């Protein structure tokens, strides 16, 4: 079963959550396990047969709508009762309230609950270095190797979704790997502010100060949100001084350089400028392709290079969006049960981005034919004379001739044959098409897929 990526499942849950009450969501959806996609159907693991029935009756349509919003043309969802052991893993520590009882108000978060941990994916190994980010990367690496000595603070700024948090966490991972006993604290400016407010309210300022002033590495995200918050600035100023004086490393991220953060106290601004200020720009095309490739490998998705290239051309600025686009294409192809191709990718992205004109390439056709005839592309291009292989090869040549501008000799060369073989293949397929309905249906389906047209009615 092909695992549907966590991002897609999060999108589905996000959609569901907007359409039902919080109590319903926590009661029914929080314990559901995403088991992946099988034969175009999203399979969800539920706790017992009662839940299975409840989902079928009450949430099937909602889930289908969620999938449709992600590009599934004929969304299908099925439910499986999980074995008891897996079920136990899914049970929240406190049983959820029954649907009719309003959820108790969540208690105000404490320091520990507010604390964020490092994202395991955000390491140096998983960070693609390109001309857009090589200075920030080099500075982060230098800081990771000599914390508190190289550049303190390190101030990284850049637009949304370009890898600032990733680099900060990478330094944290690096430090913890080498010195597991060190204390690393990652906090968003918002959480820092909330912690401060809670500490003041609960009369726990000593704990607050101990927590932030006893770390070896402090990572603070989105520091631009300090703007206009005098009390938080004041407290952060003292935290900063305490750490700095003790040669502890501080890394700050922001969407703009310190000089552009309005209403930031002069003494803080000047401290932010003591170390190194470095920026991250939008990635170039080659870096975008490399990031997609790494992402696909990370998620064990086998996706042709030309499809990654199409995505990289479509999404040009934000890396989070770039990754989202890849997941959208993966979801689209899983949910519609069609192999990856440029046409499929263009279609998957057309709801979100301006539609792209996709020129069909010979390789696209070969891959689609290979998937349809259930044999590897190399076999089709090889010299095998088995009847099924010969037929697939002829269909591929026929469709390439129809759907691309390539000449007969070019097609011949692609298959390691001469143009007369291609001519023969074309007339053979044309002749069989009238007589063999199975072949005709297969060619029609392939043609529609290559053109990125809907194939709802043909697959069913
Ligand atoms: N150079 C890179 N190589 C691989 N992945 C990257 C790279 N840069 C960013 N990413 C990925 O892009 C996504 C967004 O990155 P990140 O959250 O670090 O951005 P950010 O700049 O902190 O954004 P924001 O301003 O919204 O906090 C993450 O999934 C991250 O792993």
Dist. CA 99–CA 222, nearest whole Å:
38
Which residues, in sequence order, are CB contacts of 167 under 8 Å at separation 6+? 122, 127, 133, 136, 137, 140, 156, 280
The answer to whether the CB of 162 is under 6 A from ligand 1 is yes
Query: Are 396 and 366 within 8 A, CB to CB?
Result: yes
Instruction: Please state, in angstroms and rounded to a whole number, the distance separating the CA atoms of residues 71 and 198.
Output: 43
Q: What are phi and psi of 176, to 5 degrees?
A: -70, -30
Pocket lining: 223 vs ligand 1, CB cutoff 6 Å: no
- Whole-number Å distance, alpha carbon 378 to ligand 1 midpoint, is 37
The secondary structure of 285-328 as a DSSP string is HHHHHHHHHHHHHHTT----HHHHHHHHHH--S-HHHHHHHHHH
Q: Is the CB of 323 under 6 A from ligand 1?
A: yes
Q: Is residue 251 lining ligand 1, measured as CB closer than 6 Å?
A: no
ipTM: 0.98
Distance 321 CA to ligand 1 centre (A): 10
pTM check: above 0.80:
no
Task: Give me ligand 1 centre to Cα 63, in Å.
Answer: 29
Contact call for residues 183 and 214 (beta carbons, < 8 A):
yes
- Distance from Cα 308 to the centre of ligand 1, integer Å: 18
Whether 422 lines ligand 1, by a CB cut-off of 6 Å, is no
Both tokens assigned to 175: 């430090």
d(CA 424, ligand 1 centre) in Å? 52
Buried b (16+ CB within 10 A) or exposed e, 126-160: bbbebebbeebbebbbbbbeebbebbbbbbbbbee
Q: Is the CB of 128 under 6 A from ligand 1?
A: yes
What residue's CA is closest to ligand 1, atom 25?
A: 160
Tokens encoding 11:
């999108």
Mutate to test the pocket of ligand 1, among 136, 137, 166 (most ligand atoms within 8 A of CB): 166
Q: Judge contact between 184 and 219, C-beta under 8 A.
A: yes
122 in ligand 1 pocket by Cβ < 6 Å?
A: yes
**Any atom of ligand 1 within 6 Å of the Cβ of 133:** yes
Name, in order, each residue with C-beta under 8 angstroms of 7's C-beta and a sequence gap of 6 or more.
Answer: 323, 324, 327
Ligand 1 geometric centre to CA of 188 (Å): 15
**DSSP-derived secondary structure for 53-96:** HHHHHHTHHHHHHHHHHTT-SS-EEEEEEPPHHHHHHHS-SSPP
303-317 core/surface letters (b: 16 or more CB in 10 A; e: else): bbeebbbbbbebbee
Ligand 1 atom nearest to 133, measured from its CA: 1
Q: Where are the alpha helices (DSSP H) in 5-59?
A: 6-19, 22-24, 49-58
Give 415 Cα–ligand 1 centroid separation in angstroms.
Answer: 42
Give the residue, by CA position, lying nearest to ligand 1 atom 5: 127
CB atoms within 10 A of CB 256: 15
Q: How would you write the pLDDT of the chain (460 residues) with one tens digit per residue?
A: 455 666 778 888 989 998 887 767 877 888 898 888 887 788 999 888 878 888 998 899 999 998 888 777 888 899 998 876 443 333 333 333 333 333 333 333 333 332 348 999 999 999 999 999 999 999 999 999 999 998 999 999 999 999 999 999 999 999 999 988 899 999 999 999 999 999 999 999 999 999 999 999 999 999 999 998 999 999 999 999 999 999 999 999 999 999 999 888 889 999 999 999 999 999 999 999 999 999 999 888 999 999 999 999 989 889 999 998 998 899 888 888 888 988 889 888 887 776 666 778 898 899 889 989 999 999 999 999 999 999 999 999 999 999 888 999 999 999 999 999 999 999 999 999 888 999 999 999 898 877 766 444 433 3
pLDDT, tens digit (0-9, with 9 covering 90-100), for 22-32: 767 877 888 89
Cβ-contact 227, 264 below 8 angstroms: yes
- Which atom of ligand 1 is the closest one to the Cα of 122? 31
What distance in angstroms lies between residue 58's CA and the mean position of ligand 1's atoms? 37
């Amino acid at each position: 079963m092909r695992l549907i990526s966590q991002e897609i499942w999060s999108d589905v849950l996000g959609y569901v959550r907007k359409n039902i009450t919080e109590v319903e969501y926590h009661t029914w959806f929080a314990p559901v396990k995403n088991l992946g996609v099988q034969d175009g159907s999203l399979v969800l693991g539920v706790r017992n047969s009662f839940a299975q029935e409840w989902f079928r009756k009450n949430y099937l349509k909602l889930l289908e709508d969620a999938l449709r919003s992600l590009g599934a043309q004929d969304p299908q969802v099925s439910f499986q009762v999980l074995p008891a052991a897996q079920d136990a893993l899914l049970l929240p520590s406190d049983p959820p309230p029954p649907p009719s009882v309003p959820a108790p108000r969540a208690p105000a978060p404490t320091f520990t609950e507010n604390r964020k941990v490092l994202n395991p994916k955000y390491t140096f190994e998983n960070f693609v270095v390109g001309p857009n980010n090589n200075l920030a990367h080099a500075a982060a690496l230098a800081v990771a190797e000599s914390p508190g000595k190289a550049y303190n603070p390190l101030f990284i700024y850049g637009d949304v979704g370009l890898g600032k948090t990733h680099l900060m966490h990478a330094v944290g991972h690096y430090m913890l790997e080498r010195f597991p006993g060190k204390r690393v604290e990652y906090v968003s400016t918002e959480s820092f502010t909330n912690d401060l407010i809670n500490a003041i309210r609960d009369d726990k300022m000593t704990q607050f100060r101990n927590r932030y002033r006893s770390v070896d590495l402090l990572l603070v995200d989105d520091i631009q949100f300090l703007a206009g918050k005098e009390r938080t600035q004041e407290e952060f100023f003292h935290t900063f001084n305490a750490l700095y004086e003790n040669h502890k490393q501080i890394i700050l991220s922001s969407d703009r350089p310190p000089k552009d953060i309005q209403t930031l106290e002069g003494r803080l601004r000047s401290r932010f400028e003591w170390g190194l200020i470095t920026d991250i720009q939008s990635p170039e095309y080659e870096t975008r392709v490399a990031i997609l490739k790494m992402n696909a490998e990370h998620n064990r998705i086998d996706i042709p290079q030309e499809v990654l290239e199409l995505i990289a051309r479509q999404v040009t600025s934000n890396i989070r969006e770039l990754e989202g686009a890849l997941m959208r294409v993966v979801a689209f192809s899983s949910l519609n049960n069609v192999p990856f191709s440029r046409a499929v990718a263009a279609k998957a992205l057309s709801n979100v981005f301006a539609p792209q004109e996709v020129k069909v390439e010979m390789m696209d056709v070969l891959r689609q034919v290979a998937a349809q005839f259930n044999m590897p592309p190399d076999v089709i291009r090889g010299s095998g004379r088995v009847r099924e292989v010969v037929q697939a090869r002829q269909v591929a040549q026929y469709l390439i001739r129809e759907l691309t501008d390539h000449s007969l000799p070019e097609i011949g060369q692609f298959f390691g044959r001469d143009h007369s073989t291609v001519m023969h293949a074309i007339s053979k397929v044309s002749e069989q098409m009238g007589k063999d309905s199975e072949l005709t249906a297969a060619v029609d389906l392939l043609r529609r897929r290559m053109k990125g047209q809907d194939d709802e009615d043909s697959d069913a």
